[in-house]
Amino acid sequence: MKVKDFINQLQRHNNLNDDIIGVYWTYDDVSNGELSDNDWQELVRRFENHDFQQSTDDIFDTLVEIKEGRDHE
């Protein structure tokens, strides 16, 4: 996804004053200096419509931990 598309998506679906959990990876975040531009473009393409269910599960599990911790205070 291009940065401009990401920004447009955020603006389209969120109020500018909303708090969000935002995660993104850049070439420099995942490359150890050996990743070619073609491989990076292929990785981006493959994740274009990824549902990130594992991330959603991790957020939900963390929220449960927070609530349980609060309930034991």
* Tens-place pLDDT, residues 7-18: 999 999 999 999
Q: Is the pLDDT of residue 72 over 80?
A: no
Give the single-character DSSP code of 52. Answer: -
Question: pLDDT at position 52, please?
Answer: 82
> Residue 24: which of 46, 47, 8 has the closest Cα?
47
Per the listing, tokens 């996804």 go with: 1
Report which listed range, 16-20, 48-52, 61-65, is most confident. 16-20
Question: pLDDT at position 51, please?
Answer: 82
Range of the domain at 18: 3-71
Question: pLDDT at position 48, please?
Answer: 86
Count up the domains in the chain and report the number: 1
Mean per-residue pLDDT for 8-35?
Answer: 91
Average pLDDT of the residues of the chain? 89
